[in-house]
A and B are shown apart, each in its own frame.
Chain A
Amino acid sequence: QQQVKQSPQSLIVQKGGISIINCAYENTAFDYFPWYQQFPGKGPALLIAIRPDVSEKKEGRFTISFNKSAKQFSLHIMDSQPGDSATYFCAATLSNQAGTALIFGKGTTLSVSS
């Protein structure tokens, strides 16, 4: 119930194409859903995030779609660029009396070919 399941494991997209990464969760207590981007040798960097009372959030070329009833959310990268090649992690936060933990998916390695 603590898991966040992410797919696909890897993705190859042509420059200018749309990259789509999907995540699913079970725990309805999750209250915040961020996406992180990680380059080799670096820590994850927050890309975009959404709360469960919102169905879509767009920031530049990045859009999160959130389906609360299906317990699924996805990241869309429009006009994908070679510089977007990185590993992407969806996550969910679980806040309780004991603090707040980020629960990460296993990651998607995106390669954008030029």
Chain B
Amino acid sequence: DAGVTQSPTHLIKTRGQHVTLRCSPISGHKSVSWYQQVLGQGPQFIFQYYEKEERGRGNFPDRFSARQFPNYSSELNVNALLLGDSALYLCASSFSPGGGSYGYTFGSGTRLTVV
């Protein structure tokens, strides 16, 4: 069974540009969360979506937005990119928002570099 799939794996963008990152959850998982991991730090919560609705938002500016589609896949959008947005963006899926018995499964992430 496929795990959490994220695309692209690597991305280089210029300051001020827009980026869209994609995530396909594990089959049967209805909750998707996004995290930002800056080099040398732990992941930071950005968004959680469940059944296509936003369930939680971390302390990130409005330049960050996301959505979840009917097939439970998700997109993270970042506008007006800043150098500080350079990070590994992780997607985590779970059966329920609280994680359930098996917790959250993370993808390998998208490495975004802003130059």
Q: Which of B33, B41, B45, B55 contacts A103 (CB 8 A)?
A: B45
Shortest A29–chain B CB gap in Å is 13
Residue pair B98, A95 in contact (C-beta under 8 Å): yes
Binding site for A on B (CB under 8 A): 4, 33, 35, 40-45, 48, 50, 54-58, 90, 92, 97-99, 102-109
Residues of A within 8 A of B (CB): 6, 32, 34, 36, 41-46, 49, 89, 91, 93, 95, 98-107
Contact A100 B99 (CB under 8 A): yes
Closest partner residue, chain B, to A90 (CB atom): B42
Number of interchain pairs (Cβ within 8 Å)? 68
Interface of A is mostly: strand
A32 touches B99 (CB 8 A): yes
Contact B45 A101 (CB under 8 A): yes
Can you list 16 A-B contacts with CB-CB less than 8 angstroms, sorted by A residue number?
Answer: A44-B106, A46-B105, A49-B103, A91-B42, A98-B56, A99-B56, A100-B55, A100-B98, A101-B45, A101-B56, A102-B45, A102-B92, A105-B42, A106-B40, A106-B42, A107-B42
